Structure 1
Amino acid sequence: MHEIVCVGDVHEGLSFDFRIDPETGISERALDLHGNFAKAARWAIEHRASLFCILGDLFDRAHVAPVFREMVRRDVIEPLGHAGIEVWILAGNHDQPRRAVRSTSLDDYRGYAHVKVFRDPKMEVRDIDGRRIGFILIPYILVEQVRETLGKDVPRELAYEAARRTWQEWIRNRALDLKDADLRILFGHFEFQGVRYASTAPTEVVPNDFTFTPDMIPDAVDLVVFGHIHMHQTVGGKIVYAGAPERIDWGERLDPKGFLVIRP
């Protein structure tokens, strides 16, 4: 009871070209991804969780076929709503549009009173089990968005460096705003310096990917929970990756999969 359930990188709508169901046109493998996602929602309902947070890349693309949006609505969004559980959806690098004015498949769920879709950074406060919890929410940032913010066309590496400074200051200020909270949690969808992508691969840096560094997380933030990396792991003590609920490719074949539960 009162748990916060975090799920990362579901990738609904990912295409597989084998074992296709002739009725739906969906691969059985794609249904595996969806099935594990739905299990996380059922766990949240059975344990009367307070909050269900999707940490980016709910969908594999900004626009997916209606059948995938309907499965998410039927098996996750509406059951959680009937159980009185609030749902937060952060945009990830796969389902964040290149231009902010464009709608995406995520926007299908904005009409539900219990659902919040975050495509821009926000701060939220909730009272959970007698404790005041402050949340800093940072969806994925695209280099195009950074350039628009700067108001000029700059090289990608310079844009990301400017973004790091901006994010560092913004997070620090939000943590100060939440100084009276009992707990401060940052949810995001990013690579963190020193992360591993899979147990079968060494630590690596992906070119052109925005990377968080330790100095961007102030001491006032108690816990950081990220999506984006599919391998569940802890980095630097208080940065935790939920990991993906199911294996996306063969590189993840040895990695345990599931979802994360926070008990504040």
Structure 2
Amino acid sequence: MGVLRIAHTADYHLGVSLRGLSPVSEKGRIRIQDFLKQLDRIREFVLDRGCDFLVIAGDVFHTIRPNPYVFDEFAKFIRSLTVEKVQVVCIAGTHDQPRTETSEAYMKALEDVGAPNFYFFRKPGVITLKGNISGKKVRFLCLPYIPQTMFKPHEYISSVEQSIRRLLSEPVESYDYTVAVGHFYLEGAIIREHTPSYIGDIPLPLRLFNGFDASMMGHIHRHQFLTGKIVYAGSIERIDFGEEGEEKGFVYFEEYEGGLRGSFIRLPCRPMLTIPRDGFLELRGRRNYEAVLREYIRSLRGIEDAILRIKMRLDPSQVIPSRALEEALRSKKVFHWIIEVERVGGEAKPIEKKVFSLEDYFKHYVETVFKHRLDPETMRLVVSEGLKILKEED
């Protein structure tokens, strides 16, 4: 028999858009291609290395109903692998699970059609597959994302633990390795290094996954090994500025001395940069602040084709210099930019911030209206599930 090889990927988020960038615009279509090119690179690697399996640990699409073009491109990606006898094991993630009774995820269509060598799990399940290249048998414990609305923390952890025990107790023929595939937030995982993040999920203890030859996780977009056998692949492309500076890619597992050894495979990404890196560009009290801004942009290096977030501080009476900014950025061939303005008056006390998202308003509304009506844990669950529904409807 040959050497078992597995590519572990997660969090594709196909169809996600940038703030201020329409997905149907020319640049919006180019941004979609950034993600699809990553699929091309993954496919090339899988076929060149002779991988038996491709694992997708959740969140293929950014919404449960992606646009037809993105859905078709993913279907072609799957077919290009399965016709070469690569077996694809895919689980539902946060964005692949419907949140309402009347909605259904498009991923179900690929499941319903019964595509050969493609295995999709919306509910916990177990399957033993024999590699078409190595001949090795792998028992996959598939644990898709479980909405936490109806659970208290200890109940949620207990539910996942019971699912694992139940799946492990199912009768099975001989196998060489056992691999867990999950879409969870595990204790000790770093969500984002530079930016505070509200994930709202209950962290699961690592002990639940210590007994497997490998535990291949999705949900956290930052690649990291929590132990030698428990790993997050991370997302394949930077989704937002909370992931600025993070390397993106996937994990390649190969048989080594009777076990599975994983290594990170980096994927090239479009640059995503915050200008300035720390704080705000100070333009208060400057009569010629438009000229100052233009000169500052012209002095920047390495921003061609990048996605920029420009943070500036203005007086309440100063107008955002949109035209000057656009001219300077276009001359530098910047791909897309987002402006964040902090307006400050008096003794440097912030009185306005320009950028508020729908998610920010929703969270503020729930916390204000239900402050004295819900306990903190229920409040957290309401906010968490509401934010996920809003993302589905983007």
Under a length normalisation based on structure 1, what TM-score does the superposition of the two structures give?
0.83
Q: Helix, strand or coil for the counterpart of 2:248?
A: coil
Do the aligned residues in 2 keep the contact of 1:8 with 1:242 (CA within 8 Å)? yes
Distance in 2, matches of 1:32 and 1:213, equals: 35
Question: 2:120: which partner in 1?
Answer: 117
Question: 2:85: which partner in 1?
Answer: 84
Alignment CA distance shift 1:233-1:22 (3 Å): closer
Of the three residues 9, 13, 21, the one matched with 2:15 is: 13
Of the three residues 202, 216, 219, the one matched with 2:208 is: 216
Unpaired stretches in structure 2, ≥5 consecutive residues: 256-394
Alignment CA distance shift 1:216-1:20 (3 Å): closer
Question: 2:162: which partner in 1?
Answer: 169
Q: Helix, strand or coil for the counterpart of 2:189?
A: coil
Of the three residues 147, 170, 177, the one matched with 1:142 is: 147
Query: Sequence identity of aligned pairs in percent?
Result: 26
Distance in 1, matches of 2:23 and 2:145, equals: 32
Matched, 1:73 2:75: yes
Alignment CA distance shift 1:84-1:222 (3 Å): closer
Deviation at 1:224, TM superposition (A): 1.0
Deviation at 1:80, TM superposition (A): 0.8
Q: Helix, strand or coil for the counterpart of 1:88?
A: strand
Distance in 1, matches of 2:168 and 2:249, equals: 29
Alignment CA distance shift 1:97-1:20 (3 Å): closer
Question: 1:105: which partner in 2?
Answer: 106
Q: Which amino acid aligns with 1:258?
A: G
Do the aligned residues in 2 keep the contact of 1:4 with 1:261 (CA within 8 Å)? yes
Question: 2:199: which partner in 1?
Answer: 206
Q: Which amino acid aligns with 2:60?
A: L
Q: Helix, strand or coil for the counterpart of 1:34?
A: helix
Distance in 2, matches of 1:192 and 1:104, equals: 25
Distance in 2, matches of 1:179 and 1:211, equals: 33
Unpaired stretches in structure 1, ≥5 consecutive residues: 148-155
Matched, 1:233 2:233: no
What is the aligned length? 247
Distance in 1, matches of 2:147 and 2:85, equals: 33
RMSD: 2.6
Matched, 1:60 2:62: yes
Deviation at 1:40, TM superposition (A): 0.6
Q: Which amino acid aligns with 1:222?
A: D
Distance in 1, matches of 2:106 and 2:252, equals: 26
Distance in 2, matches of 1:216 and 1:253, equals: 31
Matched, 1:33 2:27: no
Distance in 1, matches of 2:198 and 2:168, equals: 28
Do the aligned residues in 2 keep the contact of 1:175 with 1:184 (CA within 8 Å)? no
Matched, 1:181 2:186: no
* Structure number with larger C-alpha Rg: 2
Distance in 2, matches of 1:130 and 1:48, equals: 12
Alignment CA distance shift 1:216-1:102 (3 Å): same
Q: Helix, strand or coil for the counterpart of 2:75?
A: helix
Question: 2:187: which partner in 1?
Answer: 193
Question: 1:150: which partner in 2?
Answer: none
Question: 2:338: which partner in 1?
Answer: none
